[in-house]
C-alpha cells in the first residue's frame, strides 16, 4: 500500500489530531521518565504508565510514517523498545514479589488459624511429639 493512497484516505484534520496526540504522549512520557529518574524510590505504577506511553508513541509514529510524515521512527523505536523491555522486566519482578507477599501472608494467616484453633494442651502435645520424633 503506497503512502499516497493512505494520505488520500486519511483526512488532514485526522493527521493533525494524531500529530498532536503523539506530541502529548511524548511530553507525558518525557515527564514520567524524568520523574522516575529523579525519584529516590521506585514506583511500579509510574513504570507501568511509562510502558503504556511507549506503546502509544510507537503506534502513533508508525501511523504517521505510513501516512507519509517524515518521522525518524527507527531510532525512536529502538530506544522505546529498550525502555519497554527494561521496564517489562521490572514489571515482571513486581508481579512476582506481589504474588510472593500474597502467598506468605496467606500461609501466615493459615498457620495462625491452626494455632488459634488449638488449645494450649494440644500445642504442648504437638511440641512433645515433634521433640520425641526428632530424637
What one-character-per-residue DSSP string does 86-122 give? HHHHHHHHHHHHHHHHHHHHHHHHHHHHHHHHS-HHH
Structural domain harbouring 55:
3-97
68 belongs to a structural domain: yes
pLDDT along the chain (135 residues), means of 10: 51 80 90 87 87 89 75 76 88 85 69 56 60 57
Residue 80, Cβ density class (10 Å: 0-12 exposed, 13-18 middle, ≥19 buried): buried
C-alpha cell at 97: 514479589
Instruction: Give the count of beta carbons closer than 10 Å to the beta carbon of residue 22.
Output: 20
121 belongs to a structural domain: no
Kindly report whether the global pTM for this prediction surpasses the value 0.75: no
Structural domain count of the chain:
1
Give the integer Cα–Cα distance in Å for 83 and 29: 11
Predicted pLDDT of residue 5 = 45
107 belongs to a structural domain: no
Give the integer Cα–Cα distance in Å for 109 and 103: 10
Q: How many residues does the chain have?
A: 135
Predicted pLDDT of residue 77 = 78
93 belongs to a structural domain: yes
112 belongs to a structural domain: no
74 belongs to a structural domain: yes
106 belongs to a structural domain: no
Is 60:80 a contact under the CB 8 Å cutoff? no
C-alpha cell at 28: 507525558
Predicted pLDDT of residue 109 = 55
Give the integer Cα–Cα distance in Å for 76 and 23: 13
Predicted pLDDT of residue 1 = 45
Main-chain dihedrals φ then ψ at residue 40, nearest 5 degrees: -85, -20
Predicted pLDDT of residue 69 = 67
58 belongs to a structural domain: yes
Is 60:21 a contact under the CB 8 Å cutoff? yes
Amino acid at each position: 500500500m503506497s503512502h499516497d493512497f493512505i494520505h488520500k484516505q486519511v483526512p488532514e484534520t485526522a493527521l493533525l489530531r494524531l500529530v498532536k496526540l503523539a506530541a502529548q504522549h511524548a511530553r507525558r512520557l518525557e515527564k514520567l521518565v524524568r520523574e522516575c529518574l529523579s525519584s529516590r524510590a521506585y514506583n511500579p505504577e509510574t513504570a507501568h504508565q511509562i510502558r503504556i506511553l511507549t506503546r502509544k508513541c510507537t503506534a502513533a509514529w508508525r501511523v504517521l510514517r505510513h501516512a507519509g510524515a517524515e518521522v525518524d521512527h527507527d531510532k525512536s523505536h529502538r530506544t522505546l523498545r529498550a525502555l519497554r523491555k527494561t521496564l517489562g522486566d521490572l514489571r515482571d519482578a513486581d508481579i512476582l514479589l506481589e504474588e510472593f507477599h500474597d502467598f506468605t501472608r496467606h500461609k501466615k494467616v493459615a498457620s495462625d488459624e491452626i494455632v488459634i484453633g488449638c488449645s494450649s494442651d494440644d500445642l504442648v502435645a504437638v511440641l512433645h511429639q515433634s521433640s520425641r520424633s526428632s530424637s
